[in-house]
């Protein structure tokens, strides 16, 4: 079992003892998503894959939150916001724009990319380094800006 998954399980136990209902629900959802992938693919998730699951869940909550705000449902948006906070506890510290820029610059240098046709190669190098620490849309903008 990955270290991150162990940490999430321990946090679940602590939340259950403290009777934090919302927190328990969100953490169980995280663990069930991980378990679903493990059963479907017959693998044991490593930390990188658990981070990808957390990142995906956080992005889903962010999208839902925006849709609820646009629809005038602040009550539901608040719930999504609370879930994002809980999920974010398990994600590493987000990268700053400068740090992202440096990672992208290093990937461009490593691949020798000079045009937008080579963006995929750059993204393939950058993605594992920033998983869970930066929004891929932000990364894509940085790559386009530096290649463009």
DSSP labels for 38-106?
HHHHT----HHHHHHHHHHHHHHHHHHHHHHHHTT-HHHHHHHHHHHHHHHTTSPPPPPHHHHHHHHHH
Q: 97-147: which CATH number, 1.25.40.10, 1.20.1290.10, 1.10.580.10, 1.10.10.410? A: 1.10.10.410
Instruction: Tell me where in the chain the CATH 1.10.1510.10 domain(s) lie.
Output: 3-88
What's the pLDDT at 138? 87
What's the pLDDT at 134? 87
Task: Please tell me the class of the 3-88 domain.
Answer: mainly alpha
- Tens digit of pLDDT per residue, the chain (148 long)? 789 999 999 999 999 999 999 999 999 999 999 999 999 999 999 998 999 999 999 999 999 999 999 999 999 999 999 999 999 999 999 899 899 999 999 999 999 988 899 999 999 999 888 888 888 888 999 999 988 8
What's the pLDDT at 107? 92
Three-state DSSP class for residue 115? coil
Instruction: Tell me where in the chain the CATH 1.10.10.410 domain(s) lie.
Output: 97-147
What's the pLDDT at 124? 92
Q: Give the span between the Cα atoms of 122 and 110, in whole angstroms.
A: 8
What's the pLDDT at 46? 93
Q: Give the span between the Cα atoms of 45 and 113, in whole angstroms.
A: 32
Query: Is the full-model pTM beyond 0.95?
Result: no
């Amino acid at each position: 079992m990955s270290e991150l998954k162990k940490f999430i399980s321990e946090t679940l136990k602590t939340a259950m003892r403290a009777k934090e209902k919302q927190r328990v629900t969100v953490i169980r959802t995280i663990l069930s998503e991980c378990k679903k992938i493990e059963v479907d693919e017959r693998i044991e998730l490593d930390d990188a894959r658990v981070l990808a699951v957390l990142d995906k869940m956080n992005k889903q909550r962010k999208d839902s939150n925006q849709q609820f705000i646009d629809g005038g449902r602040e009550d539901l948006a608040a719930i999504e916001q609370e879930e994002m906070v809980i999920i974010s506890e398990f994600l590493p510290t987000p990268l700053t724009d400068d740090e992202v820029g440096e990672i992208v610059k290093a990937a461009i240098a490593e691949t020798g990319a000079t045009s937008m046709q080579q963006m995929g190669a750059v993204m393939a190098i950058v993605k594992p380094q920033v998983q869970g620490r930066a929004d891929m849309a932000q990364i894509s903008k940085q790559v386009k800006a530096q290649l463009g």
